[in-house]
A and B are shown apart, each in its own frame.
Chain A
């Protein structure tokens, strides 16, 4: 069935380093992708999104890259800070009559001071 999966369940980085979180998806009809950040005890928080007509989109300290050929999505966080420690989820939607987001399992990012 459809799935959105993450390659790495955990990622540990040093403060100030750049982080890269990866995500693979299987639905070739997916055309909208979102990255969420979830801190302990809170709901997922929107970070950045990208539509399939783009390969790259940048936000504040974050960049999302989309490779439709290999169905791969990545989130890059520049100059990672301790406040970036959280679980990161990718999610996808294929539009049309699909009214749900399909989420990956999540990656735990730990930033060491």
Chain B
């Protein structure tokens, strides 16, 4: 059974650019969440999607957005990148949501220069 797949694994972008990260959940999982991980802030919740609907959003600026497709695959987008956006972005999937635990992918390491 394939795990959660995130692409790309590494990304280097310049300030002001935008970036799109992709996540393929475990087959059959309908809930997908995104987290930002930094040394200073730890794991911070970005948003959660279930059957293409955003059910929860964390305290991040509007530059951070996401979506989920009918096959449960998800993307997140960050526009007008700032140096502080450099982080490990983690995607996690679950059958129904956080109350049933999440399986995480290996993450996308984003570096903004």
Contact = CB atoms under 8 A, between A and B. Distances in A.
Interface of A is mostly: loop
Interface of A: 32, 34, 36, 41-46, 49, 89, 91, 93, 95, 97-106
B50 to A, nearest CB: 7
B104 interface: yes
A45 B98 contact: no
Contacts of B101: 34, 46, 49
Contact of B105 (A43, A102, A106): A43
A95 B97 CA distance: 9
B2 to A, nearest CB: 14
Contact of B90 (A43, A91, A98): A43
A106 B35 CA distance: 15
